[in-house]
Amino acid sequence: MRGVPHVFLAIVASLNSSGGFLPCKRRRTPTYLRENRENNGDLSKRIREARQTQDSFIEGLQKRISIVSKSQEFDEQLRGCSIVELPTVCFDALLPNQRLSGSTTDPTFMAFIRKLGLGGSFVMTSLNNRQRRMRRFGVVAKIEFVDMDGDLEDCTAVSFVLLGRQRCEIIGPTDSMSERIGRWRRGYDPDGEELRLGWGSESFVRRTSPAEDVVQDATISSPQIGSPPDVSEWTTNRIRTVEDKVEEVDPATIDHATRLIPLVEKWIDLASDQSTYDNTDVVAATRRKSGEPGLSVDAAALLRKVQSELGEMPRPSTPTAFCLWVAALINPLDPAARSKHRV
């Protein structure tokens, strides 16, 4: 059989006497090959999942870049004195460069914060308790941080940090001004039990400051809504940003502001000294002894943090900016409110 090809011998050996093929055991694929195929399948699946994750990450990053770009464009617009349109909420008295941290379970406010998103802005004004009307002046608040508890479709709470950016005035007629803004009222709660955020018409205090460059005409106020929309739907108001760092003042006003500097420095020394709060005449000491939260803190460290957030003290030559800075310094947001402000 020498010289006969091995393939031919294998065929002859497999033939039976009837000319058919002898039954032979089918050779199985080696285990290591099957494992390689399974591993290759798992690897392909992991590659697809990684690509999907990468695509989601890139899409999210692109959205983030778009939001930040729009926020920067709006910041540039606010640097000068200009008229813009923003939604307005009667929330709290916030001064420029102050930060308000908190969380909310209010459905309308959660949707509002999520819709504006990181870097979004709105006007924060407050209530004149004596007149029971809205204040015309407020602050443009920027959303510095936003975080949701739960999924987008099933959100149970939203945490936020708001930064006071620039003072502004809500534009409208001198007297009998009414604008549609957001406010917490029991009437917006379907059960009428809790204060809920809703949008509706609110009255504003009468304008007492000079008209300056703003035409006091009802035609420049925010457009009126023909048919009142749902209270959960927010609308915008026309506002004028106020530049406090550029103003023309008389020398006497600058002199009065300059005289405040030694008093401010003295106040900083007293407020930084922990022994100040051992004085029973100091309200904070009494409140601390009664066990109220947020008062047993390192006063000097807290004051340094506030000063860091407010930035450098403006010069007395810009008395409005100077006075607002001093007001924010001596009236910082309560440490408890900074971390537990719930709405």
pLDDT at 289 over 50: yes
User: Which residue, 187, 220, 243, sits at the end of a domain?
Assistant: 243
Q: What's the rounded mean pLDDT across residues 173-193?
A: 88
Please state, in angstroms and as integers, the Cα–Cα distance from residue 26 to each residue in 15, 29, 276, following that order. Answer: 16, 10, 94
In this structure, the answer to whether residues 101 and 183 fall within a common structural domain is: yes
In this structure, the answer to whether residues 103 and 238 fall within a common structural domain is: yes
| Host domain of residue 232 | 80-243
In this structure, the answer to whether residues 191 and 231 fall within a common structural domain is: yes
In this structure, the answer to whether residues 324 and 205 fall within a common structural domain is: no
Confidence band for 322, pLDDT divided at 50, 70 and 90: very high
38-51 residue pLDDT tens: 566 676 777 777 77
User: Which residue, 243, 270, 291, sits at the end of a domain?
Assistant: 243
pLDDT for the residue 255 = 92
In this structure, the answer to whether residues 235 and 99 fall within a common structural domain is: yes
pLDDT for the residue 154 = 72
The mean pLDDT value of the chain amounts to 76
In this structure, the answer to whether residues 134 and 206 fall within a common structural domain is: yes
Read off the pTM: 0.69
In this structure, the answer to whether residues 85 and 179 fall within a common structural domain is: yes
User: Which residue, 243, 275, 300, sits at the end of a domain?
Assistant: 243
Residue 63 in any domain: the answer is no
Q: Residue 111 and residue 109: Cα distance in Å, rounded?
A: 5
* Cβ neighbours for 122, distance < 8 A, ≥ 6 positions apart: 86, 87, 88, 89, 112, 116, 140, 141
In this structure, the answer to whether residues 228 and 257 fall within a common structural domain is: no
Domain count, the chain: 3
Residue 116 in any domain: the answer is yes
Q: Residue 150 and residue 306: Cα distance in Å, rounded?
A: 32
pLDDT at 275 over 50: yes
In this structure, the answer to whether residues 86 and 227 fall within a common structural domain is: yes
Longest Cα–Cα distance in the chain: 127
